[in-house]
Structure 1
Amino acid sequence: MIYVFLADGFEETEAIAPIDILKRFGKEVVTVGIGGGKITGAHGITVIADITDSDVIMTDKVEMIVLPGGMPGTLNLEKSPVVQAAIKFCADNKKAIGAICAAPSIIGKLELLKGKKATCFPGFEQFLEGAMFTGDLVNIDDNIVTAKGAGAAVEFGLALGALLCGEGKAEKTAKSLQCR
């Protein structure tokens, strides 16, 4: 199972594209509304989450968590004790973590990017504590995937899927999506 955390002000493309792509990989994706079931993105699109943060249970069934960026969505994710606990669980149990746009700053501040290649939306590099900042669209390093922003959302989704299901499946999925 993959939890995708949504907080008011999230960047819609950075959430919806990876959700769609991960489902194409055959993964069970569960959207989690922080503070409620109806979450409104940075561009006014409201999404009804599958569950709320009070329903999150971190178990071995969780393969990955995904943190979309956007403002103030990233700040709202960072303030959530449930998101913080999920990140800690994943770090402690070598589960995958995906973060895009401003969201890599959350895991950077927790020093989970130390010595890892990482990227983020321009202007958030200072929060990637100890990371080897690349400026690439997407980076995969060990169990962490980071991406630059909304324009990289499809590639981010494919990288998340590749981490869990392998490059072969990612290539087939990319081809089916007509990606370059």
Structure 2
Amino acid sequence: MTPSLKGKNIAILATDGFEESELFEPKKALDDAGAKTTVISLKEGEIKGWAKTDWGKSIKVDLTVEKARPDDYDGLLLPGGVMNPDKLRKESKAVEFTKKFADSGKPIAAICHGPQLLIETGMVKGRRMTSYPSVKTDLKNAGATWEDKEVITDNGLVTSRKPEDIPAFNRKMIEEFAEGRHIQRPGIDASI
């Protein structure tokens, strides 16, 4: 039975070039579980997805990262795609937004190339993670223990490798978002 996310507000941070299936399918799973999802990006309007080999569907941006407040959300979803996290990790506002989730112990779910943004926050050191294989060395160099598994959960952090892992990713993401804040890690400020 899928845990209920009724009353939970989930931020989805993405920009142009997100992998279409890695935003739309987890978003649908979150919505179906009762969460209120908010698409947050670098700009207003719409952002365009990438569908494997070409541009795909667009999605409406609900809020810019400049206006979004991490305190308003219970969890963070980071879709992958090659372009999406590469653009986000160069934007200090996107890095700061993500870091506040990590520092507060709120659950984060990142798939494919999504963990690249987490590297910029400094939160991957000492964590068990997975990702798309081309991100493996980056994660290891940042201090993560990388494993080739469809989904890994480490104290509120959920990571997966690729679109084929989405069913397992969605199950674990919903489970961790239902559990809420994880404050067992040293250095986490639970008051945020």
**TM-score, with normalisation over the residues of structure 2?**
0.80
Contact 2:158 2:173 (C-alpha < 8 Å) held by counterparts: yes
Distance 2:144 2:155 in 1: 13
Report the 3-state secondary structure (helix = DSSP H, G, I; strand = E; otherwise coil) of the residue aligned with 1:19: helix
Aligned counterpart for 1:31 among listed residues 30, 33, 39? 39
For each residue in 1:65-117, what CA deviation from the matched residue of structure 2 results, as whole angstroms up to 9, or x when unmatched?
Answer: 11111021111121222321111111221111111101112213433122221
Aligned counterpart for 2:160 among listed residues 139, 144, 147? 147
Distance 2:43 2:90 in 1: 11
Q: Which moved more, 1:34-43 or 1:1-10?
A: 34-43
Q: Which runs of 5+ in 1 are unaligned?
A: 167-180
Q: How far does residue 145 in structure 1 lie from its aligned partner after superposition?
A: 0.9
Distance 1:153 1:98 in 2: 11
Structure 1: 4+ residue segments shifted above 4 A? none
Instruction: State the percentage of identical aligned residues.
Output: 25
Distance 2:162 2:91 in 1: 22
For each residue in 1:31-77, what CA deviation from the matched residue of structure 2 results, as whole angstroms up to 9, or x when unmatched?
Answer: 11322221011232211122222331121x31111111102111112
Contact 2:112 2:160 (C-alpha < 8 Å) held by counterparts: yes
Distance 1:31 1:50 in 2: 5
Letter in 2 for 1:35: K
Distance 1:74 1:81 in 2: 13
Distance 2:124 2:22 in 1: 20
Letter in 2 for 1:54: E
2:190 maps to none
2:124 maps to 113
> Is the aligned partner of 1:136 residue 2:126?
no
Q: Which moved more, 1:107-116 or 1:14-23?
A: 107-116
1:73 maps to 84
Distance 2:120 2:65 in 1: 22
Q: Which runs of 5+ in 2 are unaligned?
A: 1-8, 180-192
Aligned counterpart for 1:123 among listed residues 110, 113, 134? 134
Count residues in correspondence: 165
Q: Which moved more, 1:139-148 or 1:26-35?
A: 26-35
Contact 1:119 1:125 (C-alpha < 8 Å) held by counterparts: yes
1:11 maps to 19
1:160 maps to 173
Q: How far does residue 165 in structure 1 lie from its aligned partner after superposition?
A: 2.1
Contact 1:10 1:72 (C-alpha < 8 Å) held by counterparts: yes
Distance 2:44 2:138 in 1: 28
